[in-house]
Amino acid sequence: MEDEFGLSLAGLMFGALGWFTLRYVIFGFFTVNQNERVVKTSFGKAQRLHTTTLDNPMAEHLRADERERYQYPQVRVIPPGGPYFKWPWETVHRVKVATETANLAYDPEDPNANRGGAMLEAVTKDQLNIGLIGQLRWRVSEQNLYAYLFGVKRPLVHVLGYFISILRQKIASFEAPTPLEPKALPAGDGAHHVDLKMTEGISINDLRKNLRDLNEQMDRECLSSAARYGIVLDASLITGIDPPPEVESALAAINTAHNHVGSEVSLARAAADQKIVQSRRAVEIETLNAQAEVEPLLQLANQLSELKRNGSGPALLAAYVRNVKLNLFARARAAFIKVDP
């Protein structure tokens, strides 16, 4: 009986040892894929380095009052490769660092929000409710994995909320860029180009015409997301802005009138520029004609001055005048001669 009990106990011990070896020794080896990074924790604590996020260039985009709040420690990151080994008291946290795309209206906490993730609503400066369509490209920052893994519970939710709040604030206060100063014509023209303000600014029209500028502003405003939450927003692509159905026809009429006025102003400017060019050409032609009339007289004056200076006295000049008169008489059809009584 004792022998059987001893054998059972020995079998149990060998079985437990085999399970432990299989579970924590053989299965303790792991590899890291190319699009992954790994952080190990020992009893829940990650291996930290001697630097923080404030020592990283990403901290330059934080405001002065945010630097202390988002001072996260730098942790040891395991690069792609392997095999690596972990002890039973260690935990492996895998993070995908590949660039991902999310719908602008996507809400991770409520899939039915924002019309089922199809359109994000916002309010313009003139109290117009509009719908936004677009995408957001993001990736996890390898330089701030502590913030992504341990800083917030759901970092993507925080980042999307942060982005949407900034976007709505920008749309509520967005104004079209100031046009350039009028350019003066070259000196002597006596006129200036004047930029005509054809219609007053309408917020949705300004937004539609300046989508690229709005996207660039959002990229600049969200540069601090890497230091805040460990997520880098690569680009925001707002592709569509739709007004409410009840104001669609009114906006279409305003835009039609705006385009008509713009066309008329462009035609008027083109006609004015054409007249200015024609006037310049006419002045040039008359100037050349005057020069052509004056040039023979100048040449004649030069010849007479040269004859007087190098000739043999008044007799040579009188002979020159006599020859010129003979040439004129030969070309004249009638001559009137004064005869002294």
Q: Do 133 and 231 fall into the same domain? A: yes
Mean pLDDT, range 313-340, rounded to an integer: 72
Q: Is the same domain home to 114 and 14? A: no
Percent of the chain scoring above 70 in pLDDT: 75
Q: Quick one: pLDDT at residue 195?
A: 45
| pLDDT (tens digit per residue) in 233-261 | 888 888 888 776 666 666 666 667 667 77
11 lies in the same domain as 122: no
**What confidence category does residue 93 fall into, taking pLDDT thresholds of 50, 70 and 90?**
very high
Share of the chain above pLDDT 90, in %: 7
Do 93 and 235 lie in one domain? The reply is: yes
Summarize pLDDT for 15-43 with one digit per residue, the tens. Answer: 666 666 656 666 678 889 999 999 999 88
Do residue 24 and residue 111 come from a single domain? no
At 3 the pLDDT is: 58
Q: Are residues 94 and 166 in the same domain?
A: yes
The pLDDT assigned to 95 comes to: 92
**Is 186 a domain residue?**
no
Nearest to 74 by CA among 33, 116, 29, 39: 39
Mark whether 23 and 122 lie in a shared domain.
no
In a shared domain, residues 113 and 236: yes
Q: What pLDDT, on the 0 to 100 scale, is given for residue 316? A: 64
Q: In whole numbers, what is the pLDDT of the chain averaged over residues?
A: 78
Would 233 be classed as within a structural domain?
A: yes
Does the pLDDT value for residue 136 go beyond 80? yes
How far apart (Å, rounded) are the C-alpha atoms in residues 160 and 138?
Answer: 10
H-type alpha helices, the chain:
2-20, 113-117, 145-146, 155-172, 203-209, 211-221, 225-229, 245-310, 314-331
State mean pLDDT over 193-220.
Answer: 69
Residue 189 lies in a domain: no
**How many domains is the chain built from?**
2
Residue 65 has pLDDT above 70, yes or no: yes
Q: Which of 170-174, 196-200, 328-332 has the lowest mean pLDDT?
A: 196-200
Whether 18 and 43 share a structural domain: no
Q: Which amino acid is at 335?
A: A
Q: Are residues 17 and 76 in the same domain?
A: no
- Give the per-residue pLDDT at 185: 43
Domain around 19: 2-32
Does residue 334 lie within any of the structural domains? no
Is residue 94 domain-shared with residue 236, that is, in the same domain? yes
pLDDT at 82: 76
User: What CA–CA distance (Å, rounded) separates 40 from 76?
Assistant: 8
Q: pLDDT confidence of 274, banded at 50, 70, 90?
A: confident
* Domain end call among 186, 211, 243: 243
User: Which range, of 113-127, 172-186, 317-331, averages the lowest pLDDT?
Assistant: 172-186
| pLDDT tens by residue, 170-197 | 888 887 666 544 444 444 444 444 444 4
Average pLDDT of span 79-91: 85
CA dist 265 and 248 (Å) reads 26
Please work out, in degrees rounded to the nearest 5, the angle formed at the alpha carbon of residue 220 by the alpha carbons of 216 and 221: 115
- Please say if the pLDDT value at position 97 is more than 80: yes
The predicted structure's pLDDT at residue 191: 42
- Is the confidence at residue 8, as pLDDT, over 70? no
Higher pLDDT, 4 or 281: 281
The residues with which 135 forms a beta bridge, in sequence order, are: 103, 237
Give pLDDT tens digits for 287-321. Answer: 888 888 788 777 777 777 776 676 655 666 677 67
Question: What pLDDT is stored for residue 177 in this prediction?
Answer: 67
Does residue 168 sit in the same domain as residue 63? yes
| Residue the block writes with tokens 């995408």 | 135
Residue 50 belongs to a domain: yes
Provide the pLDDT for residue 125. Answer: 83
CATH number of the domain residue 92 falls in: 3.30.479.30
- Given a cut of 80, whether residue 270 has pLDDT beyond it is yes
